A and B are shown apart, each in its own frame.
Chain A
Amino acid sequence: MIEITLVKEFKGKDLVKIFEKKYGSMDSIKRVFERGKGNVKLELDLDDWKYFLKHTNELVRETKIIYTENPEITMKDISLLSFIKNQKPQSIKELADLAKRDISTIQRKVTILKNEGLIEIKNGTKNRKVPIFNYDKMEIAI
């Protein structure tokens, strides 16, 4: 069993942007929340969306603790995370070029990292898949 802790800090206005991308509008999260029959995560996001619209410069710290059984993550994958965070590649091919590795290998690795909850994949221009890793700190505990 491995415990992975991811930490990021940002301002209230950044959290509002995250909500806008995730839910579209406040009306749509309200509709999803009403359908969600008491979903506490939606309730938190809705409350925070209202709060941080008024407190745009307030610092927010988010911590995500993930448990995994057999992570197929190697040190090479950690360096991939570093490339994704610091070089911000705009496609999987760009990431493969940065890492000087075969694109099919990188594609498989990106899927693993996504499934482990470590990165997000956003749709870029021309159907490109953009890997995102926007955490400030990552801790691995056994």
Chain B
Amino acid sequence: MRFKKIEGKKIHVRESNKGWTIIILPNYIKIDCYQGFTNIRFKSGGISIPVIYDNLEMIIAIIKKHIISYRTINNLILIKKLIGALND
């Protein structure tokens, strides 16, 4: 198996009274709670996919676990985890 570099993977979180947003780089995945429910998007104006979790810490923990386990960010697997279609 080819050794995957984890370098360059970043999670940005911004919190305020407005709500919270997570941006995952370099894939430019955005997860936020601004529409009254937690949703994930891959592109501005793109399809908004509802996430089953609404707790920020829990979502960050899922993303961290995903990055550490796969040593990369697999968009499809990460979506499946966040919408509850894939368990560990």
A64 contacts B7, CB within 8 Å?
no
B13 part of interface (Cβ distance < 8 Å): yes
On chain A, the residues within 8 Å of B30 by CB distance are: 40-41, 43-44
8 A Cβ contacts from A36-71 to B: 37-44, 48, 51-52, 55, 58-69
Cβ of B55 < 8 Å from any Cβ of A? no
Interface residues of B in 3-20 (CB under 8 A from A): 5-18
- Pick from A33, A55, A69: contact of B6, CB under 8 Å: A69
Whether B21 and A65, one on each chain, are in contact in the complex, defined by CB atoms closer than 8 angstroms, is: no
Give the distance in Å from the alpha carbon of A64 to the alpha carbon of B28 in the complex.
14
- The verdict on A12 contacting chain B, using a C-beta distance below 8 Å, is yes
Of all chain A residues, the one with the shortest Cβ separation from B12 is A64
Interface residues as binary, B20-46 with A (CB distance below 8 Å gives 1, 0 otherwise): 010101001110100000000111111
A interface with B by C-beta (< 8 Å): 1, 3, 12, 33, 37-44, 48, 51-52, 55, 58-69, 117
A40-B44, A64-B12 known; 5 new pairs, CB 8 Å cut-off, are: A48-B14, A59-B17, A60-B16, A61-B14, A62-B13
